[in-house]
């Protein structure tokens, strides 16, 4: 597979390591829950449960052998076709992180 890096252009997927579903960006805020049980439930779901779709999947890839950036790659899990590549940083900021 070739990942079209937003800065570096097309790169072999072998240069990257794979983390998984891009939903991992949205780590729960443990202080934002009314009680510890609710926080534990949220962290359980965050850490262990996955949508695991057959089809379009947004996922985190780390350019370990390159510029060490984290990317959000939109890829089809049935055909392996990659349709979109973004910086994870931009995705997180667009959701209001680090403001």
Of residues 32, 80, 94, 99, which one binds another protein by CB under 8 A? 80
Q: How many other CB atoms are found less than 10 A from the CB of residue 77? A: 13
77 is a contact residue toward another protein (CB under 8 A): yes
Of residues 6, 20, 26, 64, which one binds another protein by CB under 8 A? 20
CB-based contact 85:7 (threshold 8 Å):
no
* Angstrom distance (rounded) from CA 38 to CA 53: 26
Only segment of 26-34, 53-61, 62-70, 83-91 that touches another protein (CB under 8 A): 53-61
65 is a contact residue toward another protein (CB under 8 A): no
Of residues 50, 93, 95, 97, which one binds another protein by CB under 8 A? 50
CB-based contact 30:99 (threshold 8 Å):
no
Of residues 11, 75, 88, 91, which one binds another protein by CB under 8 A? 75
Burial of 47 (C-beta count, 10 Å sphere; 0-12/13-18/19+): exposed
């Amino acid at each position: 597979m070739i990942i079209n890096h937003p800065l570096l252009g097309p790169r072999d997927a072998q240069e990257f390591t794979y983390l998984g579903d891009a939903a991992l960006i949205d780590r729960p805020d443990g202080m934002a829950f009314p009680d510890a049980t609710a926080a534990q439930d949220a962290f359980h779901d965050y850490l262990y449960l996955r949508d695991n779709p057959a089809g379009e999947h947004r996922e985190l890839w780390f350019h370990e052998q390159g510029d060490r950036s984290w990317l959000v790659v939109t890829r089809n899990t049935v055909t392996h076709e990659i349709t979109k590549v973004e910086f994870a940083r931009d995705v997180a900021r667009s959701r209001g992180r680090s403001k």
